[in-house]
């Protein structure tokens, strides 16, 4: 599982440019499902056929990044954010383009008072070009880059990499597909595109599949770092059961069903209320006439940075939770507001 995590997180794939990571995931999951295909927007759908109700699991493949919007006379690149790119973590970071070209994020020091966080508009990417003509041979307006950082183990349980959000959830679904021998449900493992720019891949894939229940798997923040967010989630204490974020209020029926599946697998889960952001579950819930939807959250420190940290035990339990949900007959459960 560690090698899969390393392979997935290190792949290039900012929103709208998911081809490389999609091909990697497709190759990994194909032996364990009946059909793998791509929808019109680019989401990867792996179908494990069954005779029961439709159960959809979703994890997004895309990562945050930047897009080149100008090349100046000296060959420096100006850029716009693709998704939630924070200025405080961008300065001095390395970014990688689709062809492997790497640049460094610099700043206009004279225009930024010492000690202040500069806005992205004061930053640029240095690709080592000696002027505009050379830069234009290397890069074009509209090219995208993702932040780059190697996958490392701080300890056997604590892993750090760029793009844990949300490739670690893609690992979760892939590993669950390997372990799921049979299910009373018709199961879809969906790896969505463009989540970071508006939950777009989840909208189209959910509409297409039209599931009876949708479960997103995504990362969530933690409240266990010095003066961090106030929330009841800690690294290493198990995956979290989402109750609410800016995109969804999970119904009691869905929460109770998910908790029952966790109890059945003897998994301790943490309650999660995220005060910012959203997940693919939010798009699922408002698709068609409304799809019952919930979310398994993997605790992650330093989200939307090149140094996102997860705990291996949380990942393993999230895999078990997905399998347990898939093994329960969703046709025998209600998921409304009851």
Active site residues: 195
CA neighbours closer than 13 Å in the CB half-sphere of residue 303: 24
Helix (H, G, I), strand (E, B) or coil at 36: strand
The CA-CA-CA angle for residues 239, 197, 288, to 5°, reads 80
Strand order in the sheet with 152-153: 152-153, 158-161, 308-311
Contacts of 333 by beta carbon, 8 Å cutoff, 6+ apart: 253, 257
Q: Is the peptide bond before 122 cis (omega within 30 degrees of 0)?
A: no
Query: Kind of pairing, strands 240-244 and 293-299?
Result: antiparallel
CA distance 288 to 334: 18
CB 85 within 8 A of CB 142: no
Which phi and psi (to 5°) does residue 148 adopt?
Answer: -125, 135
CB 92 within 8 A of CB 105: yes
The CA-CA-CA angle for residues 161, 167, 173, to 5°, reads 140
Task: Answer left, alpha or beta for residue 177, where phi above 0 means left and psi between -120 and 50 means alpha.
Answer: alpha
CA distance 283 to 270: 23
């Amino acid at each position: 599982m560690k090698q899969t995590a390393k392979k997935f997180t290190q792949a290039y794939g900012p929103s709208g440019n998911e081809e490389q990571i999609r091909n990697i995931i497709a190759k990994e999951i194909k032996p364990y499902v009946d059909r793998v295909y791509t929808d019109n927007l680019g989401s990867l759908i792996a179908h494990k056929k069954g005779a029961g109700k439709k159960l959809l699991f979703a994890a997004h493949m895309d990562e945050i990044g930047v897009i080149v919007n100008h090349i100046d006379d000296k060959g420096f690149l100006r850029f716009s954010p693709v998704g939630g790119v924070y200025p405080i973590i961008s300065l001095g970071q390395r970014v990688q383009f689709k062809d492997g070209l790497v640049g460094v994020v610099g700043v206009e020091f004279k225009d930024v008072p010492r000690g202040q966080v500069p806005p992205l508009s004061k930053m640029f990417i240095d690709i080592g070009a000696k002027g505009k003509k050379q830069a234009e041979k290397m890069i074009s307006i509209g090219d995208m880059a993702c932040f780059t950082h190697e996958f490392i183990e701080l300890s056997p349980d604590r892993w750090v990499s760029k793009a844990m959000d949300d490739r670690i959830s893609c690992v979760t679904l892939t590993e669950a597909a390997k372990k799921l021998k049979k299910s009373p449900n018709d199961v879809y493992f969906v790896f969505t595109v463009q989540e970071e720019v508006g939950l777009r891949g989840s909208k189209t894939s959910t509409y297409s599949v039209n599931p009876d229940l949708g479960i997103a798997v995504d990362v969530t923040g933690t409240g266990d770092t010095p003066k961090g967010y106030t929330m009841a989630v800690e690294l290493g204490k198990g995956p979290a059961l989402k109750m609410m974020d800016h995109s969804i209020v999970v119904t009691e029926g869905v929460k109770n069903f998910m908790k029952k599946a966790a109890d059945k697998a003897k998994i301790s889960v943490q309650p999660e209320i995220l005060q910012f952001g959203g997940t693919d579950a939010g798009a699922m819930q408002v698709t068609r006439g409304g799809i019952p939807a919930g979310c398994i959250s993997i605790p992650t420190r330093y989200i939307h940075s090149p140094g996102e940290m997860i705990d291996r035990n949380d990942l393993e339990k999230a895999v078990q939770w997905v399998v347990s949900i898939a093994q329960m007959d969703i046709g025998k459960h209600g998921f409304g507001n009851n």
